[in-house]
Amino acid sequence: MLERLQIFEDRYEELSQRLCDPAVTADPAVYAQTMRDYREVEPVALKFREYKRDLADMDEAKELLAESGSDREMKEMIDEELARLTRSADSLREELKILLLPKDPNDDRNVIVEIRGGAGGEEAALFAAVLYRMYTMYAVRRGYKTELIGANETELGGYKEISFMITGEGAYSRLKFESGVHRVQRVPETETQGRIHTSTVTVAVLPEAEDVEVDIDPTELKIDTFRSSGAGGQHINKTESAIRITHIPTGLVVECQDERSQYKNKDKAMKVLRSRLLEAERERQQSEVSQQRRSQVGTGDRSERIRTYNYPQGRVTDHRIGLTLYKIDDILNGSLDEIIDALIAADRSAQLESGERL
């Protein structure tokens, strides 16, 4: 591990010098790439330097201990310092192990989130709207931007389905564990008997795909235009600006009707299609990986029930890690970091236990 860490530190020094090179700073593209590389190695290099300082201080303390002779008070002071340095070095070593874990290549990407009402009819559609609000509020907290792609709204203000993009550094790394079935237990507004209903909503989080990553043959696309439908917008039902794209080989269908411009709707629909195709390929590759090496947290199974929101008890339970928080209002208002941090920690722990470290 020390050899690998030294490579990171050497690379950090090299990139630091390159960032001061006028030839690099004069080229925006080269500078931007160099800065991205610098930011990637910086956390490891700096943490490694802390670790080396602790090891050097431990060696120095051991030399002082050997020279302290019969001075009991001095020995006690040095023993205490050695114990502190040992704890610090052990902690830094564990942090370095985590930093050296294989990084998900999609972590820094923007994401496309698709929410669909499942079992529960109108109540499921209403909860889909609640989750949409939760994720958009979370995006605001993180400084991300959101952009609506398309929505199929119900008369009561819910969504049969809604898709949107979240743009920001590390968006996928924060949201990738949200894919799956979200279950809600509450008394619907339309329920006169006060009975608790259970409904489900499916969430899919897709990393945004670049044009060059997914080769789409235009001849394999069927593109239809139609008039937008649903609530809101003066252009609704007046112009055929909505776009439906069917990818013939896979049967994937993507619709977008949020924009007034047919061109903009087509551009958004193509982004979603590329991301879905990229995700399908990722799932195919994952299925070839042995079960032992898969994350215990999981990131993509849309049939997996991952979380329950219980209104009467005010609790939210993530079933993958057994975490229950009695703060449903805060969570639905976008306070998701406590859950997401726990999921990330569980994923890292699972990787370490299964030997997936460098």
Q: Give per-residue pLDDT as tens, 337-351.
A: 999 999 998 888 888
- Looking at 6-10, 71-75, 114-118, 124-128, which range is the least confident one? 71-75
Residue 299 has pLDDT above 60, yes or no: no
Q: pLDDT band at residue 230, thresholds of 50, 70 and 90?
A: low
Residue 336 has pLDDT above 60, yes or no: yes
The whole-angstrom separation of Cα 137 and Cα 330 is: 11
pLDDT digits (tens, 9 = 90+) for 280-296: 777 675 565 444 334 44
- The per-residue pLDDT for 254 is 83
- The per-residue pLDDT for 319 is 95
pLDDT digits (tens, 9 = 90+) for 132-176: 999 999 999 999 999 888 888 888 889 999 989 999 988 999 999
Residue 226 has pLDDT above 80, yes or no: no
- The per-residue pLDDT for 296 is 44
Q: pLDDT band at residue 323, thresholds of 50, 70 and 90?
A: very high
Q: pLDDT band at residue 237, thresholds of 50, 70 and 90?
A: very low
Residue 112 has pLDDT above 80, yes or no: yes
Chain centroid to CA 158: how far? Answer: 25
Average pLDDT over the chain reads 84
- Whether residue 60 contacts residue 77, with contact meaning beta carbons closer than 8 Å, is answered with no
Mean pLDDT of 296-314: 74
Q: pLDDT band at residue 229, thresholds of 50, 70 and 90?
A: low
Full set of structural domains in the chain with CATH: 2-99 (1.20.58), 111-210+217-350 (3.30.70.1660)
pLDDT digits (tens, 9 = 90+) for 11-66: 999 999 999 999 999 998 899 889 988 988 999 999 999 999 999 999 999 998 88
- Whether residue 203 contacts residue 182, with contact meaning beta carbons closer than 8 Å, is answered with yes
pLDDT digits (tens, 9 = 90+) for 172-220: 999 999 999 999 999 887 666 778 889 999 999 988 876 556 778 888 8
- The per-residue pLDDT for 286 is 58
- The per-residue pLDDT for 324 is 96
Residue-level length of the chain: 358
Residue 260 has pLDDT above 80, yes or no: no
Residues of the chain above pLDDT 90, percent:
44
- Whether residue 170 contacts residue 107, with contact meaning beta carbons closer than 8 Å, is answered with yes
Please state, in angstroms and as integers, the Cα–Cα distance from residue 356 to each residue in 20, 31, 33, 99, 342, following that order.
36, 32, 28, 12, 19
Q: How many CB atoms lie within 10 A of CB 86?
A: 13
Q: 0.75 exceeded by the pTM?
A: no
Residue 127 has pLDDT above 90, yes or no: yes
Residue 262 has pLDDT above 70, yes or no: yes
